A and B are shown apart, each in its own frame.
Chain A
Amino acid sequence: MLVVTDLVKRYGTVQALDGFTLNVAAGEIVGLVGHNGAGKTTFVEIVSDLIRPDSGHVTIDGKPPSATRGQVGVAPQHIALYPSVTVREHLELFGRLAGLRPAALSAAIDDLAGILRLSEIMDRRTGKLSGGQQRRTQAATALVHRPALLLLDEPTAGADLETRQAMLDVVKQRAGEGAAVVYTTHYLPELTELQATIAVAQNGRVIARGTYEDLAKDLPGEVRVTLEDEEEISVSTTQPTATLIELLGRLDRPISSVDVRHPSLDDLYRSLAVHDAC
């Protein structure tokens, strides 16, 4: 669905993208992670056809971004809503701009109001909403026309638990229907829940991509065994479960507790970022 090859974009002396390459298949969720300035937002803007790259190629379903407007749903990381306009009126605007006819638009709005928990606030002006409610409204405007490609740029930044869960639910639903999803975030556990493929961006390019299991297989976890006499044994290992079994076989003293920590996505990101910098 989305094929991005070797994008380069420079703003003056700042190299925003430096050979950014990323493919996303229909029905796939790619979690794009990286520090601020890694190039995530510039990538989103180029795929949305808001800016042009200096070089490189983007195709969406085989066509350039300029030919696929309306097939892409974009929720930027900053809130971009009309404060004096209600949630329903926002959805009507973006749905109509996408060409939805009244009956289809009405059904789409009802569907989104349910899954994004907007039903209670549909007729409230967005300027009067909480940050989480605004986030959900913004996501709804990106989803109302059921785009084939979804670009969600930190959609849960600063959001409450209800908003975060609603967002994850709707992303899973849309991917299940066949939409390709790029989900940028700093909240790495969300990607585990979404069962997303992970792409790590740094210095304007993707430095690693794969499933969590693939990327984490060489990272050390930790096995910690606490004995009844309060002595603690801690082992760093790439095979925590096997190491624990071996450790338990060797110990002949009473055990108080056992803790196995598999490598987290934070460990993964730090490891990849360090390797790339070396």
Chain B
Amino acid sequence: MLVDSVPRPAGAFDALYRISAMARHNTIIRLRDPGQAISYVVMPMVLMLVLKPLYVRAVDGGATQVSTGLMVMFSVFAISLAGNAILSERTWRTWDRLRVSRAAAAELLVGKILPIFAIMVVQQVLLLTYGCLVIGLPVPSAPHYVLAAILIWAFALLALGALLAAIVRSHGELSVICDVGALTLSSLGGALVPLSLMPEWAQLVAPASPGYWALTLMQAAVRGDLAGMLPSAAILLAIGLAAGAFAARRLARGWGRGGLI
């Protein structure tokens, strides 16, 4: 019996079925190589503990600053997780095999990213809980705002990771961009050192960093300040949508085929 006679689910349900197949497959891959994800949970926990006394002495609300700052800083490394996961498809030469299937590039990307999205959400929830229980971060009055902030930030970061994977030529190049970029974006955004303690020029350029908007979003969410969340959320969603659309378009043609756009 050839494929044309096999009954198949149609439309949106069919797409969801394919996305779930990709997500399941990539969860297997992630679970077999968990080191990177574990380190991005343990490292910020240690740093929160070590840096808390400095922050508490330096600024008002030091516990909030150190918790949310390190949450943002170590979430930025998710760019590397997403980028490496996608770029590995090039190394293994498997992306073209997936493109031959019924799945659209966007479905493949979503299925690829979903497990990392879940890892990132778990990481942020663990760090938030740790911040509340151990560091002295005030328990958020509106936990659903915090969850929304985490989801929006995770979306923006993973889309940026996909974009990078679509344009770099090697894992080495991705590693350099992620390491330097993550530290620059997060520190410039005030995640490492409170913005009020940074030089004037840095405070001026800080809004150019997505890390700034993530930190603003997270701190507003912890305060339960919905109005304060909206501008940051809008900017991060716009960044995520633009980066995701670019990555999906570029990866739909495969690596190294055609121009940048």
Residues of A within 8 A of B (CB): 45, 48-51, 61, 69-72, 74, 76, 78-85, 89, 92-94, 96-101, 104, 141, 145-148, 177-179
Least distance between A106 CB and chain B CB atoms (Å): 14
A85 and B29 contacting across the interface, CB-CB below 8 Å: yes
Asked if B260 lies at the interface with its beta carbon under 8 angstroms from chain A, I say no
Least distance between B27 CB and chain A CB atoms (Å): 11
Docked Cα-Cα span, A141 to B18, in Å, equals 15
Task: Indicate whether A78 sits within 8 Å of B28 (C-beta atoms), given known contacts A99-B14, A179-B2.
Answer: no
In the complex formed, the residue of A with least CB distance to B104 is: A69
A97 and B2 contacting across the interface, CB-CB below 8 Å: no
A146 and B21 contacting across the interface, CB-CB below 8 Å: no
Could you mark each residue 22-36 of chain B with 1 if its beta carbon is under 8 Å from any beta carbon of chain A, else 0? Answer: 101100110011000
Task: Indicate whether A94 sits within 8 Å of B101 (C-beta atoms), given known contacts A99-B8, A145-B6.
Answer: yes
Considering residues A48, A74, A81, A99, which has the most beta carbons from chain B within 10 angstroms of its beta carbon?
A: A99
Residues of B within 8 A of A48 (CB): 96, 100
Residues of B within 8 A of A147 (CB): 2-3
Docked Cα-Cα span, A94 to B99, in Å, equals 11
Docked Cα-Cα span, A224 to B17, in Å, equals 64
A93 and B102 contacting across the interface, CB-CB below 8 Å: no
Docked Cα-Cα span, A177 to B98, in Å, equals 25
Residues of B within 8 A of A (CB): 1-4, 6-9, 14, 17-18, 20-22, 24-25, 28-29, 32-33, 92-94, 96-103, 254, 257
Docked Cα-Cα span, A60 to B94, in Å, equals 23
A70 and B96 contacting across the interface, CB-CB below 8 Å: no
Give which listed residue, A50, A69, A74, A101, contacts B102 with CB less than 8 A: A69
A50 and B6 contacting across the interface, CB-CB below 8 Å: no
Residues of B within 8 A of A70 (CB): 3, 101-102
Task: Indicate whether A97 sits within 8 Å of B6 (C-beta atoms), given known contacts A48-B100, A76-B97.
Answer: no
Considering residues B1, B3, B14, B21, which has the most beta carbons from chain A within 10 angstroms of its beta carbon?
A: B3
Considering residues B7, B92, B93, which has the most beta carbons from chain A within 10 angstroms of its beta carbon?
A: B92
7 nearest CB pairs, A to B: A96-B21, A70-B102, A99-B8, A97-B101, A80-B93, A93-B25, A84-B32
Docked Cα-Cα span, A158 to B7, in Å, equals 37
Task: Indicate whether A99 sits within 8 Å of B100 (C-beta atoms), given known contacts A71-B3, A78-B93, A177-B2.
Answer: no
Give which listed residue, B4, B29, B99, contacts A71 with CB less than 8 A: B4
Residues of B within 8 A of A101 (CB): 7, 9
Residues of A within 8 A of B9 (CB): 99, 101
Docked Cα-Cα span, A147 to B93, in Å, equals 21
Docked Cα-Cα span, A25 to B112, in Å, equals 37
Considering residues B2, B4, B97, which has the most beta carbons from chain A within 10 angstroms of its beta carbon?
A: B97
A100 and B18 contacting across the interface, CB-CB below 8 Å: no
B3 and A98 contacting across the interface, CB-CB below 8 Å: yes
B94 and A81 contacting across the interface, CB-CB below 8 Å: yes
Q: A80-B94, A96-B20 are in contact. List 5 more A-B contacts (CB 8 A).
A: A50-B96, A76-B97, A94-B97, A147-B2, A147-B3
A145 and B21 contacting across the interface, CB-CB below 8 Å: no
B4 and A97 contacting across the interface, CB-CB below 8 Å: no
Least distance between A121 CB and chain B CB atoms (Å): 17
Residues of A within 8 A of B100 (CB): 48-50, 69, 72, 74
A146 and B33 contacting across the interface, CB-CB below 8 Å: no
